[in-house]
Amino acid sequence: MLTNNKIPQSHQLEFLAKQALLAKSRVRLFCILILSLYFTITAGDFLLRPETYRAGEIWTGAILLLGGLSILYLNSKTRHLGKAKLNAFIFAALLHFMLFKLGLVYSEAAATMTTYYILTLFLVILFIPWNPLEASLIGLLNLMTFLLYGVTRFRIFGPSTLYLHLNGFIDGIILIAVSASLCVLIRKIEMGREIHNFTLLKEIESKNEQTRKELEFARRIHKTLIPDSISTEKADITVTYLPVDIIGGDYAKFHFYGKDRLIFIICDVTGHGVSAALLVNRVHAKYEELVKDGKEPGALLKELDAFVAKDFRDTHMYLTAFCGLLDFKKKNFFYSNYGHPPQYIYHATKNEVRCLNSQTTLLGLTYQEEKIYQSEMPFERGDKILLFTDGILETISRQPAVSVHGKIERFMQNNTHLTSYEFNQKLLEEMNAADRTFVKDDIFLLTIKIH
């Protein structure tokens, strides 16, 4: 059995199993190749040059065919590397026996027998994944068979044959010995490469597994930032989040200032994945800090804008953000939009949808301005606010002959009777958001239905 100290003990069985599969497939292919070549050449010679065909070749070919079919059968049943190589060795011995007998049947081909032996040597050693020691044994088998062929030829045909072909015979021995050494060297290099590639693959798989675990841990941490849906006497707030990667770059949060004010935010970092999620975590920490001061949306996003510009100036990462504040006592809605797609509010009493457009550019680009971007409007019982990131817009924009904003507005007007949860689910169904084939960004929905 093949073992190698360069392979960690924990992976040796796996390496041997892979080598067994390789050896098994090579033995099968090798047997089929040899049988096909032999009988194709034999049939061709018989048809084209029948006068050269010898009856002694019939039983030699029959033995090769029977042996080859037997090896194919045994090889199909084996599951172990040692048995697969034993099958290969038996077939190699059978092939050398056939070569020996054919050399005696066609005595006039003595001058070309060295070529046949070297060709057989290369085929047997390089086709099967022997280790260097096993390759050396095959080389020795080849050389011993050639020597036996020379001695037998001398005994059958007499000394005159030996004197006539002595130089060629000695040259053949030298060539076979050199070829065998070359084959062993090649197999040693190939075996080293196989071990190196396998070890490298295991290292990569180990690192990938470690990365997967770290990403899974990061996903669990990132998931804690996503708020749960809640229902209060003031409003129903439903959150739906579909990241395109394990972790994403979308973020939303809401807080109550006492009993009468609700502040909420939704952000979308440029890009997604680990870098976007790290920025989201920093933004979350800063947002939580600003919320404690009771700031209104315009002032809050102004400070968040300065924070992103200062800490992430050289990262070329920016984010859009929409922040809103519902004052239930005064029934006023304040909002600020930094480069975020237009969000929507449905006024139940008027049965109309109002678009809350962006008021400035992305967070991180306007920090030097002193202006605070904030608008306000009244709201009533039954009004509904829909916040989302641009992942949902991608699902709509790929639908033919559809106006993105028009479809959202019609959807809000036609589904006012639904709960916030039902509203989000139906919106995703109509936008076919479950089909992520063409959607390359996260989808985040935050719906607020005012009681």
Total domains in the chain come to 2
| Domain boundaries, position 301 | 225-450
Phi and psi angles of residue 102, each rounded to the nearest 5 degrees, phi first = -65, -30
328 belongs to a structural domain: yes
Does residue 199 sit in the same domain as residue 74? Answer: yes
**Average pLDDT value for the chain:** 86
C-alpha torsion sign, points 74, 76, 78, 83: positive
Q: What's the rounded mean pLDDT across residues 114-124?
A: 91
Does residue 292 sit in the same domain as residue 188? Answer: no
Does residue 169 sit in the same domain as residue 268? Answer: no
Does residue 241 sit in the same domain as residue 362? Answer: yes
pLDDT tens profile 30-72: 999 989 988 888 888 778 777 766 676 788 888 889 999 999 9
Q: Measured over all CA atoms, what is the biggest interatomic distance in the chain, rounded to whole angstroms?
A: 123
Does residue 242 sit in the same domain as residue 381? Answer: yes
Rounded-to-integer distance, Cα 175 and Cα 87, Å: 27
CA dist 315 → 270, 319, 367, 371 (Å) = 11, 12, 16, 25
pLDDT tens profile 273-316: 777 888 888 899 999 999 998 899 999 999 999 898 888 877 77
Q: What is the pLDDT of residue 13?
A: 87
Q: Which residues of 82-93 are buried (b: 16+ CB within 10 A; e: fewer)?
A: ebbbbbbbebbe
Tell me the pLDDT band of 4, cut-offs 50, 70 and 90. Answer: very low
Does residue 93 sit in the same domain as residue 200? Answer: yes
Percent of the chain with pLDDT over 90: 47
